[in-house]
Structure 1
Amino acid sequence: MRDAHADLIAAEELAAEDPSFAVEAAELRCRVTEFETRLAELLTRDPHHRDDTVLEVRAPGRAEGSAAMAEALVNLYRGYAESRGWHTEMLTAVPAPAFGYRSATLSISARGGTWPAFAEETGLHRGRWLPFTDPPERPVVADAEVLAYPESSWWERFWPDDSEVVFHQYNYGPLPLARRMPDVLLTHLPTGVEAYTAPTYGRTANVKRAQKLLVARLTAVAEGRAEPTYFARVPSRGPTDHIRTYNLIANELTDHRLDLVLSAPFDPDNLTLLAEALRAPVPGSEPPE
């Protein structure tokens, strides 16, 4: 970059004396502009832009509507990821007594990372719909919490000291199967952050999956995305800012940060439009020097 600037200054000085150097000076000026644009992109890029994503979706309170809203968001994120050929994995799911989820932890991964698509999903998501009664009663209004945080493929580099982590293993069901596929719970003693994975691929794979999730949660805490108590056995409340409303009655999706209204509230393609709009630079803003 410094050499390009020096060459441009020299070419402009020569062009002032000899017009034949004007073409070369113009070419160097375009090259310097390209370098500056590229440098601005690198300086403003999220360091996690090639990481994968973990989405924590929870139903605050005990209302059935919140559990239904949490399930609708999980299905929205899974449909959005699968439509792009990305891999989705349900790490944990706590079903509500009637329907929906009390909480669910979803991992979305792909070659090249998925974090830019979900980086702005953290917040309270509100749904409005008419109950399935005849005649319909007053509209149902329910919230669901979403916490998004990146998950690195290089988690081994950030693994804490083994003495700081307590390993728990739970065996359920028929003994031979339970021994091969136990539930795994890891607890980070200094912070109280926990990571739990249900049996899926076998003991070794479950342990590695829990370790990767624990590192992602510790990183989220270190970067201020969540409090350590959010990942405790009795979790605290999560995000409290309403960022989006899914109005099924009016068939509208409203993002309150952008003051943007779209049709078809649970259309996965809307997430692409919202992610691009939220990543767009604010008019009048300047890249860091």
Structure 2
Amino acid sequence: MLPTAKLDGILSRFEEIEAHMAASPERDTYVRLTREYAELEPLVASIRRLRRAEREAAEVEELIAEAAGDAEMARVAEGEKAALAEAIEALGHEIRLALLPKDEADRKSAILEVRAGTGGDEAALFAGDLFRMYSRYADRRGWKVELLSASEGEAGGYKEVIAAVNGTDVFARLKFESGVHRVQRVPDTEASGRIHTSAATVAVLPEAEDVDVDIADGDLRIDTFRASGSGGQHVNTTDSAIRITHLPTGIVVAVQDERSQHKNRAKAMTLLRSRIYDAARGRLDNERAAARRGQVGSGDRSERIRTYNFPQGRVTDHRINLTLYKLPELMEGGGALDELIDALLATHQAALLADQDGERSTAA
């Protein structure tokens, strides 16, 4: 059952906002009201459709009672009753999803970190493939990818690559990608055709803004050093690379991607803020772990979440036991990745709904 009083409160608040906006308030107040209006508008539309369907259902029940002696009218009314019941159920589910607790980080951009794990050169190549997959996926969704730091593998790919992915709802779409990704394939250098297994670790952090994390200058130790590279023109001749240590937490970040020390410092601060913010979120999550069962996987970045089997062209997400035989499309950042992400989000929402229903039953 939906909480009637809560729905009534949402409708009342929406009407209050409309009245305040019509009264031409000050600019800052108007901007705040407009933002709240935009957030509530789709939910209010669903509630109004639900209320309308419920009224129509009540009218149909009266019609059925009145048509006791008219078989044809009763048959038509029963059909309308079934259609309205289906619509009411769908709208109720839609509203329950909209009322789920929101992750404040979902609308944020994200920091994407991909690191080669076990498997040597093949792991670095796979890390490069994963980063390319996410980059192409970002392009498809109109997000911007900005490289923050990269350490290339000797045979290609990356030992480590870190990038900022900027856009709307980036963290919401990518947050379940954190964990160990395992690959099974035949390396190009394998003459006997033997399948090798290697791995890469992905971490997705919500990109923190200045207002999310308060960092005092006195809490930072900033070191400069000469950027390393592959030799020749790629090695900096000035100390442009930046390493920042956050003394209270011991978190260390280093960026050497740009030739400008100023740009490297700005990127390093972006990365540092996000890691501090992520660590704080992690501590809160651990404190709420006993009561928070609606998570897909443990969130532990050492957890193996997915296997990419190239000889069979399949990918399996172990958290939801979903296998897709669409590996080439997935690695291109295509719709198969959306299919996986949508399934993970649906599972997460279903678990949250189950938790919410359980809490409501206990309270009753």
TM-score scaled by structure 1? Answer: 0.75
Higher fraction of strand: 1
Aligned to 1:253: 315
Superposition deviation, residue 124 in structure 1: 0.8
**Distance 1:262-1:29 versus aligned 2 partners, 3 A rule:** same
Q: Please give the residue correspondences for 1:1-289 in structure 2 after superposition, counting only pairs within 5 Å.
A: 4=8, 27=52, 38=95, 41-61=98-118, 63-110=120-167, 112-132=168-188, 135-152=191-208, 154-171=209-226, 182-200=240-258, 202-224=260-282, 239-265=301-327, 266-268=331-333, 269-280=335-346, 281-282=349-350, 285-287=354-356
Unmatched 5+ residue regions in structure 1? 9-24, 226-237
- AA aligned to 2:214 is W
**Distance 1:139-1:286 versus aligned 2 partners, 3 A rule:** same
TM-score scaled by structure 2? Answer: 0.61
SS of corresponding position for 2:354: coil
Higher relative contact order (CA 8 A, sep 6+): 1
- AA aligned to 1:259 is N
Q: Determine the C-alpha separation between the residues in 1 that align with 2:161 and 2:341.
A: 22
CA contact (8 A) 2:117 2:198 kept: no
Superposition deviation, residue 42 in structure 1: 4.6
Aligned to 2:286: none
Superposition deviation, residue 183 in structure 1: 1.7
Root mean square deviation of aligned Cα: 3.4
Deviations 1:59-109 (A, max 9, x none): 124622211111111111111111222111121111122222111112211
Query: Stretches of 4+ moved more than 3 A in 1?
Result: 25-30, 33-40, 133-136, 171-174, 201-205, 286-289
**Distance 1:165-1:263 versus aligned 2 partners, 3 A rule:** same
**Distance 1:109-1:28 versus aligned 2 partners, 3 A rule:** same
Superposition deviation, residue 200 in structure 1: 2.7
SS of corresponding position for 2:282: coil
- AA aligned to 1:202 is S
SS of corresponding position for 2:248: coil
Q: Determine the C-alpha separation between the residues in 2 that align with 1:272 and 1:244.
A: 15
Larger Rg: 2
CA contact (8 A) 2:110 2:165 kept: yes
- AA aligned to 1:272 is D
CA contact (8 A) 2:243 2:253 kept: yes
Unmatched 5+ residue regions in structure 2? 13-49, 56-88, 284-299
Q: Determine the C-alpha separation between the residues in 1 that align with 2:247 and 2:95.
A: 43
**Distance 1:191-1:133 versus aligned 2 partners, 3 A rule:** closer
Deviations 1:148-195 (A, max 9, x none): 11103x235513221111112234599xx866x822221101221012
Superposition deviation, residue 214 in structure 1: 0.5
- AA aligned to 1:142 is S
Percent identity for Structure 1 against Structure 2 = 26
Alignment coverage as a number of residue pairs: 254
Q: Determine the C-alpha separation between the residues in 2 that align with 1:96 and 1:4.
A: 59
CA contact (8 A) 2:125 2:155 kept: no
SS of corresponding position for 1:92: strand
